[in-house]
Amino acid sequence: MTAANTLAIFLLASLAVHTSAADWAHWRGPFLNGSTSETNLPSHWSKTDGVRWHVELPGPGAATPIISGDHVFVSSTDADAQTILAFAFDRRDGHLLWQHKIDDGMGHHDNSNYASPSPVTDGKLVVFVYGNGDLAAFDFAGNELWRRNLQKDYGDFAYQWTYGASPTLYNGKLYVQVLQRNVPVHGRGRTDRPIDSFLLALEPAMGKTLWQHVRPCEAVEESHEAYTTPIPFTCNHRAEILIAGGDCVTGHDPETGAELWRWGTWNPEKIGHWRLVPSPVTGDGIILACAPKGSPVYAIKAGGTGTLGDAGIAWTSEHERNVSSDVPTPLFYLGDFFVLNEGRRGLSRVEPRTGKVKWNVPTPGTRRYETSPTGADGKIYFMNFAGLVVVADTADGRILSTVQMGDEGDDMIRSTIAVAHGELFIRTNHKLYCVGNR
């Protein structure tokens, strides 16, 4: 093993220090890159064979299940009551531990709802965030610790769609970002003062604001808007919070929010409808950012300061049209990036330092894939709109199996598959499944 690989493993392990690596405490897992060190995971199962338990959910949501110890936390809607809910289930058998109504309303769009951001936990408390700006924290017994609303505190959101950034807990701080349009849109957005995009740090136990850092950009119109999640990262002993959106990528000091560096843009022509969905992902000294709408991915060299120019880019996928993602966040696993292209329906394994494509395979079926890929046990798990789960071999991309987990009529399933304690947690529109080897 090389010194670089040893350092990379140490840095990944340090990210998981506050929760067990066997847990799935954040939307992108214990290492914040979509991977886990869990093994003995199934390659083949069905709705009746290999399912340890399943529970009914009252409504759809794109939030990923979050697992800590014997708790499974789920954000959900209630389609009949038109409300948003917070659930805790027992990981061992799926029985309901507690639930709380968070608020009335589900959202104002047919293709998304307020239960899109995933919860986050540090193993002691869990924080739920919703698309209407509600934040609510609970201890593991279900006691409410605090509650607040971002729109009440900082003004109405200015998004064309529905706010969807997941929160991040890192080194004793809760990070929440709001990357929004700088003017009202469709009657949404504050009019009493300029509309800012910002990174917010909160004290997790009490919910009080520690600081707010305004993040300017030169984007126009909808290209201001991003549905990405802040990602902690350490390079050369310097900790950062990575943010992608507004036609650029920035790194911030976790203690103050101050901007350490900035790279951009993938949009020199100032196209106005390039909102951003994929979050940044890091690996082998590279920060990977996906430009939207079928554009290339950009490999930014980690460790920079100030405004980065062309020299700050290691490579782009400009000549590899399949290496692109408009929605799924790429995976870093086993030393490589895995990029799921929902538009051209393909999965690629890419070498971080060079951008060399080791393999590219088509994805099964005709439906879109907007879940982010999960890497574990030498396999990649992802799911399409209809709930078709695909299991691929990391070595060559060979499809090991496909499993229909969605019910008839299911559509727009976007929840990423979580892996914890030797089990898969698969969330469809109306069910949560726990799957394991027999």
Residue 111 is predicted with a pLDDT of 77
Residue 21: the pLDDT is 75
Indicate whether 77 pLDDT > 90. yes
pLDDT of 18 reads 55
What average pLDDT does range 209-230 have in this prediction? 97
Nearest-5° angle of CA 116, CA 287, CA 176?
35
pLDDT at 64 over 80: yes
Domain span holding position 428: 3-436
Predicted local confidence at residue 204, as pLDDT: 98
Structure tokens, 108: 């104002």
pLDDT (tens digit per residue) in 190-203 = 988 889 999 999 99
Q: Is the pLDDT of residue 40 over 70?
A: yes
Give residue-wise pLDDT tens across range 301-329.
999 999 999 999 999 998 888 999 999 99
Under the banding of pLDDT at 50, 70 and 90, the label for residue 20 is confident
The pLDDT assigned to 7 comes to 42
User: What integer pLDDT is reported at residue 34 of this predicted model?
Assistant: 98
Tell me the pLDDT tens digit for each residue of 97-140. Answer: 999 999 999 987 777 899 999 999 999 999 999 999 999 999 99
Identify the pLDDT of residue 66.
99
Per-residue pLDDT tens digits for 380-412? 999 999 999 999 999 999 999 999 999 998 999
Whether the predicted pLDDT of 344 surpasses 80: no
The predicted structure's pLDDT at residue 16: 47
Does 17 have pLDDT greater than 60?
Answer: no
CATH number at residue 321: 2.130.10.10
In the predicted structure, residue 233 carries a pLDDT above the cut 50 = yes
The pLDDT, as a whole number, for residue 1 is 38
Q: Considering the entire predicted model, what is its pTM?
A: 0.94
For residue 221, pLDDT over 70 is answered with yes
pLDDT for position 368: 93
In which residue are the tokens 């901007």 written?
A: 259
Instruction: Report the pLDDT value the prediction gives residue 438, as an integer from 0 to 100.
Output: 72
pLDDT of amino acid 19: 65
User: What is the average pLDDT score of the chain?
Assistant: 94
Looking at the DSSP bridge assignments, the partners of residue 170 are 173
Q: How many CB atoms lie within 10 A of CB 256?
A: 11
Residue 14, pLDDT above cutoff 70: no
Give the pLDDT of residue 117: 98
What would the pLDDT profile of 141-186 be if each residue is shown by its tens digit? 999 999 999 999 999 999 999 999 999 999 999 999 999 999 999 8
Q: What is the pLDDT of residue 4?
A: 42
| pLDDT of 13 strictly over 80 | no
Among 68, 57, 137, 126, residue whose Cα is nearest residue 102: 137
With a CB cutoff of 8 Å and minimum separation 6, the contacts of 409 are: none
Report how many domains make up the chain.
1
